[in-house]
Amino acid sequence: MYPNTRLRRLRKNANIRALVSETKLSHTDFIYPIFVVPGQGVCQEISAMPGQFLYSCDQLPAIIKKLDDTGVYSILLFGQTTEKSARGESSYDEVSVVCQAIQYIKKTYPHFTVMTDVCLCSYTDHGHCGPIVEGYVNNDATLDIISQMALSHAKAGADFVAPSGMMDGMVIAIRQKLDAADFTEVGILSYSVKYASGFYGPFREAADSKPQEGDRKSYQMDPANIREALHEAELDVLEGADMLMVKPGMPYLDVIAALNKSFNLPILAYQVSGEYSMIKAASQKGWIDEKVVALESLLAFKRAGATAIITYFALDAAKWLAECNI
């Protein structure tokens, strides 16, 4: 102890600090979410998410090129439709904007890893993540539809499909559907632990996926629970998930750490829309430094045990890391 031990010796300068740093961030840690919408010439900023846009397919080349130039080669696609319905059938349209986007990206940038969100909330007219039967989102009817949706993405060339509706059995239903069609190499990133969270607000505006009535508490998890999170993750592992996800991110670092301790699969953290908006808004007011806070939050995910991070900051963070010389 003091005076023999002085921990400040290891903090003396940037090089020593870098040498002893326990956690490192890299541009290869990031997955960038992209919102694809029907239409032509659409490149519309999301009001609550400054710097993030809705893109029609013809507007994708510029943003994908930027990602390529910055070394962010992993993306997560979200789609929309002009044909919402009670069951959300347009979600598995083989010429959906998501399928078109996958085809374009994989053809032009084969080294990219393309993941797709598999959920019905942007495709149902009521905004819930599955068809409603007698006032309740029907689990098994949802499985049929999301499996078809996953298959349409696999056919278009997706590398991973990411079911996000928190339906029981979603991973095994999709695995069986993909395998039966010989897509054994397409992986499943499961939104294993997804909480019914207020932090998704800005996303729901962007994805036009707000429930018309009620909330998602009958399928997404109660923020109070962590043992249940381990149970969810355990079932996904048994069902054949390739990667697990915890969402939202920063308020749930304890959940990331718990999953990391208990499972040997990659654990992804999703820094969701509300987390991005808060950092953006406070920094625009001059109350916090955007770059410092964003990088600190991303580092925290890795320290907690996340293998990779889905983040709207992916592009900026990769640029900041490239600039950063000690």
Q: CB 209 → ligand PBG: shortest distance, Å?
A: 6
Cα separation, 261 vs 241, in Å, equals 17
Nearer to ligand PBG, 44 or 109 (CB): 44
Nearer to ligand PBG, 32 or 112 (CB): 32
CA 133 to chain centre: 28
Cα separation, 289 vs 293, in Å, equals 6
CA distances from 134 to 15, 17, 137, 138, 217 (A): 63, 59, 8, 9, 16
Cα separation, 130 vs 139, in Å, equals 7
30 binds ligand PBG (CB under 6 A): no
Of how many residues is the chain composed? 326
Q: Torsion angle of alpha carbons 275, 276, 281, 284, nearest 10°?
A: 140
Interacting span for ligand PBG (CB under 6 A) from 12-20, 113-121, 132-140, 144-152: 113-121
Residues in region 126-145 near ligand PBG by CB under 6 A: 129
172 binds ligand PBG (CB under 6 A): no
Q: CB 47 → ligand PBG: shortest distance, Å?
A: 15
Cα separation, 131 vs 111, in Å, equals 36
The residue with tokens 């993405």 is 153
Interacting span for ligand PBG (CB under 6 A) from 35-43, 84-92, 117-125, 297-305: 117-125
Q: Residues 46, 75, 115, 121: which binds ligand PBG (CB under 6 A)?
A: 121
Cα separation, 283 vs 280, in Å, equals 5
313 binds ligand PBG (CB under 6 A): no
Opening angle at CA 267, ends 261 and 269, nearest 5: 120
Cα separation, 159 vs 113, in Å, equals 6
Interacting span for ligand PBG (CB under 6 A) from 57-65, 132-140, 201-209, 234-242: 201-209
From the list 177, 194, 280, 319, the catalytic residue is 194
Q: Token pair of 229, please?
A: 């999170």
Cα separation, 2 vs 13, in Å, equals 21
Q: Residues 272, 279, 308, 309: which binds ligand PBG (CB under 6 A)?
A: 272
- Which positions ≥6 away from 11 have C-beta within 8 Å? 17
Residue 194 is a catalytic residue? yes
Residue 210 is a catalytic residue? no
Interacting span for ligand PBG (CB under 6 A) from 105-113, 181-189, 202-210, 290-298: 202-210
Q: Residues 74, 139, 164, 192: which binds ligand PBG (CB under 6 A)?
A: 164
From the list 247, 280, 302, 319, the catalytic residue is 247
Cα separation, 170 vs 34, in Å, equals 23
Q: CB 11 → ligand PBG: shortest distance, Å?
A: 35
Interacting span for ligand PBG (CB under 6 A) from 103-111, 115-123, 227-235, 236-244: 115-123
Question: Which amino acids are annotated catalytic?
Answer: 194, 247
Binding residues for ligand PBG, rule: CB under 6 A, are: 117, 119, 121, 129, 164-165, 200, 203-204, 209, 216, 272-273
